Amino acid sequence: MTTMSQTLSASTLLVVALAPLVGAIIAGVFGTAFGGNHIGRRVSHSLTIGGVALSFALSASVLWEVVAHGARFNDTIYTWMQLGGLKMEIGFMVDGLTAMMMCVVTFVSLMVHLYTIGYMQEDEGYNRFFAYISLFTFSMLMLVMSNNLLQLFFGWEAVGLVSYLLIGFWFNKPSAIFANMKAFLVNRVGDFGFILGIGLIYAYAGTLNYTEVFALSGELAKQGLPGTDWMLITVICICLFIGAMGKSAQFPLHVWLPDSMEGPTPISALIHAATMVTAGIFMVARMSPLFELSDTALNFVLVIGAITALFMGFLGIIQNDIKRVVAYSTLSQLGYMTDALGASAYSVAVFHLMTHAFFKALLFLAAGSVIMGVHHNQDIRWMGGLRKYMPITWITSLIGSLALIGTPLFAGFYSKDSIIEAVHESHLAGAGFAHFAVLAGVFITAFYSCRLYFLVFHGKERFDQNPDAHHGAHHADHDNHGHHDAHHPHESPWVVTVPLILLAIPSVLIGYLTIGPMLYGDFFKDAIFINAQAHPAMEELAKLFHGPLAMATHALTSAPFWLALAGVLASYYMYMVNPALPAAIKQRCMPIYTLLENKYYMDWFNENVLARGTRLLGTALWKGGDQGLIDGVVVNGSWKLVGWVARIVRRLQSGFLFHYALSMILGVFVLMTYFVWRS
């Protein structure tokens, strides 16, 4: 164990992690029917917000100590059990990477908590919802603060559980039930790979502690997987990354994330965008000492990230649900982060994770504000002209969109451009395809972001043209805030707009302020390890970097800027100048539209091939294996055989002496005949 820093105390870190948990338990037990509804809404939201606010304040102080005084912490808090040589511990490891993640998680969570007061005010499950999101915050903190793989896995599974509860929050809605089961099952596939990776680490390293595993990484790199010609370290890294593919929604395990929008709009979606889905990215960055030892694993990461960044962006173009556009944008940006990991630019991936958390949280919350303003319509085709009705939502949405498309000086620009450059400088086999994917993704992102922005905030007002506007049945359990004036949109209350403003500020500034220390300083010096000889991308980037302002001015002549501008102009022309054009293109390219509309038929494949095939296999094993072989042949066959033998033996055992005497005479006769014949 490393020595503890004097400036970070274990008790402070415990309070950071446990404060949201205490709020969640009190609100979840005493504020719901389960515990007898002893506390009201005000107490529930005050306790949970207070817990998360305390957690954020302490996280900010921890970050300050880490940055200003180089404080570190790596120690065991509690030994849960010991099995032979395996120590199962709960401990914290705090360095630059952890401190940054703690602040991002708690700040975004705090904004969501505040926002929820306004958004869920009419919902019967108000207290339950606060309990869930506070529990989510606790789970995420346990994941990012852990110093061993066991605790990491606990946090990993806990965020998966709470996401299941959040996605299926309206448990009377069939689509929500389907979505939470889908998220749960797809994540189990990824988690199976993850636990295999952890198992292999323990089998060959004999420990689950990060520091001890990294110290043995050189020995692991020399070993092969028994019975194969595969390198052990490659298998470990790919297994760990399969876990990240599930959690961070990478192709082909991405299918759950768009459906997760079935949770309360858009809060569970936000949580999936800003915190949970980044767990996989964080984990790979934390495991950088292992990934650096396997080019094969890094290539795999690079190609998967490139496929996700490019092809998920295409799906965002045709979406009409305001939340789903933002959801596909999240998928595409997660692909960017994964590409950076594959190019060994771990710090760039984590930097994009941070900037993206702010502007994507902003975009989700703004989407929710729009939905409230237009009385629960989510279809962007029936919006338009909202700028004059919802000025705060409009300006914050514009800031979020500008950050997302990578406008120079905005937060998203610094991280996104750095990813494109890092992938360009990578020498891995898949780097060429990845570079094409991230460049094409710039145009696509700019196009669908501006399409959303123009259709919602500009152009003609189309609220009263919505064919579903007067059919309120589908609102029965869905986002019912009690507003039924179907004509005039309105700005959201202050508990909704204040989080929007507070998230808009870092969406503009955070990239400019932090790019130097995070990418080219020593902020991550002992958290992220890069083999610079084998993977020189970060060294090359450092040579090109001359400060954030110079980077922004240089960008005006670079390909990403012009591609983003082309995307904006194309979107403006198609949706503001010549709105008949998209319909004409759709008619001409119907097969492509059908392919995108069906999400590349991946859901169809999963449901009709994998799920049905699995069910058929289960039925065959049940009918043929269980009922036919085990019950029919083994169990029933054995007693029938015993019964048949018993019936024959019973006939021989008559109980009459002369029968036995006759048998003996016949036996002697047979034996004598045999011996005479032999001689």
Partners of 87 in the beta sheet? 82
Look at 72-86, 344-358, 413-427 and tell me which has the smallest mean pLDDT. Answer: 72-86
pLDDT range class, residue 393, cuts 50, 70, 90: confident
Closest CA to 593 of 253, 325, 319: 319
Higher pLDDT, 111 or 40: 111
Mean pLDDT computed over 1-14:
67
pLDDT in tens, 114-124: 888 888 877 77
**Does position 483 have pLDDT exceeding 70, yes or no?**
no
The C-alpha atoms of residue 489 and residue 554 are separated, in whole angstroms, by: 42
Better-predicted residue by pLDDT, 54 or 409: 54
* 125-129 own/partner pairs: CB under 8 Å, 24+ apart: 125/169, 125/170, 126/41, 126/44, 126/45, 127/27, 127/28, 127/31, 127/32, 127/39, 127/41, 127/44, 128/27, 128/28, 128/31, 128/32, 128/169, 129/169, 129/264, 129/267
| Least-confidence region, from 134-143, 262-271, 636-645 | 262-271
Q: Which two tokens stand for residue 381?
A: 């085709």
Radius of gyration of the chain (CA): 31
Q: Quote the CA–CA distance of 243 and 280 in Å, as a whole number.
A: 7
List, as own/partner pairs, every contact residues 502-506 make where C-beta atoms lie below 8 angstroms and the sequence separation is at least 24, other chains included.
502/111, 503/108, 503/111, 503/358, 503/359, 503/361, 503/362, 503/365, 503/396, 503/400, 504/362, 504/395, 504/396, 504/399, 504/400, 506/358, 506/411
What is the per-residue burial (b if ≥16 Cβ within 10 Å, else e) of 116-132? bbbbbeebebbbbbbbb
For residue 101, give every residue at least 6 positions away whose Cβ sits within 8 Å of its Cβ, in sequence order, or none.
144, 282
pLDDT category of residue 60 using cuts at 50, 70 and 90: very high
The CA distance from 253 to 245, in Å, is: 6
Tens digits of per-residue pLDDT, 336-388?
A: 999 999 888 888 999 999 999 888 888 888 888 888 878 777 778 878 778 88
415: how many CB neighbours lie within 10 A of its CB? 29
Distance, CA of 487 to CA of 298 (rounded, Å):
53
Distance CA 182, CA 186 (A): 6
Residue 7: the pLDDT is 65
User: What is the share, in percent, of the chain residues with pLDDT greater than 70?
Assistant: 94
DSSP letter, residue 32 = S
Q: For residue range 129-188, list pLDDT tens digits in order.
A: 888 889 998 999 999 999 888 899 989 999 888 888 888 888 888 888 888 888 888 888
Residue 36 phi, psi (nearest 5): 95, 15
pLDDT at residue 390, as a whole number: 83
pLDDT, residue 266, reads: 58
Q: Is the pLDDT of residue 2 over 70?
A: no
pLDDT given for residue 478 in this prediction: 46
Question: Mean pLDDT for the chain?
Answer: 84
438, 419 Cβ separation under 8 angstroms: yes
| Contacts (Cβ under 8 Å, ≥6 apart) of 501 | 392, 396
Closest CA relative to residue 160, chosen from 194, 134, 132, 183: 183
What band does 269 get if pLDDT is binned at 50, 70 and 90? low
DSSP summary character for residue 266: T
**CA–CA separation, 40 and 159 (whole Å):** 26
pLDDT at position 485: 45
Cis peptide before 252 (omega within 30 of 0): yes
What is the pairing mode between strands 73-83 and 86-94? antiparallel
Between 36-40, 92-96, 251-255, 344-348, the lowest mean confidence (pLDDT) is in 36-40
Report the distance separating Cα 352 and Cα 650, nearest Å. 83
Choice among 29-38, 95-104, 247-256, 536-545 with the minimum mean pLDDT: 29-38
CA–CA separation, 89 vs 79, rounded Å? 4
| Inter-residue contact 312 to 254 (CB < 8 Å) | yes
The candidate with the shortest Cα–Cα distance to 123, out of 53, 52, 44, 48, is 44
Q: Which amino acid is at 182?
A: K
* HSE toward the beta carbon, residue 52, CA cutoff 13 A: 28
**3-state SS assignment for residue 430:** coil
| 216-233 pLDDT tens trace | 888 888 888 887 888 888
Angle between helix axes 10-30 and 126-145 (nearest 10 degrees) is: 160
421 closest CA partner among 507, 543, 516: 543
Cβ atoms of 376 and 286 closer than 8 Å: no
pLDDT digit string, tens, across residues 424-452: 888 888 888 889 998 998 999 999 889 88
pLDDT of residue 429: 84
Task: Find out whether 278 and 143 touch, Cβ atoms under 8 Å.
Answer: no
Q: Which residues of 625-638 are buried (b: 16+ CB within 10 A; e: fewer)?
A: eeeeeeeeeeeeee
For residue 138, the model assigns a pLDDT of 92
Residue 330 and residue 257 in contact, taking contact as beta carbons nearer than 8 Å: yes
Q: Can you say how many angstroms the Cα of residue 181 is from the centroid of all Cα atoms in its chain?
A: 15
Give residue 3's pLDDT.
Answer: 44
| CB-CB contact of 256 with 187 (8 Å) | yes
- Other Cβ atoms less than 10 A from the Cβ of 105: the count is 31
Q: State the pLDDT at residue 268.
A: 65
Structure-token pair, residue 654 = 């008559």
Beta bridge partners of 78: 90
CB count, 10 Å around CB of 304?
26
Q: Can you tell me the distance from the alpha carbon of 410 to that of 404, in angstroms, rounded to the nearest whole number?
A: 9
Q: CB count, 10 Å around CB of 497?
A: 21
Q: How confident is the model at residue 242 (pLDDT cuts 50, 70, 90)?
A: very high
Distance between first and last Cα of the chain:
87
Among the listed ranges 218-227, 469-478, 644-653, which one has the minimum average pLDDT value? 469-478
Q: What's the CA gap between 75 and 93, in Å, rounded?
A: 7
Mean per-residue pLDDT, 490-495: 79
- State which H helix or E strand residue 90 sits in: strand 86-94
Cβ neighbourhood burial of 623 (10 Å; 0-12, 13-18, 19+): exposed
pLDDT score of 54 more than 90 = yes
Report how far residue 21's alpha carbon sits from residue 52's, in angstroms, rounded to the nearest whole number: 9
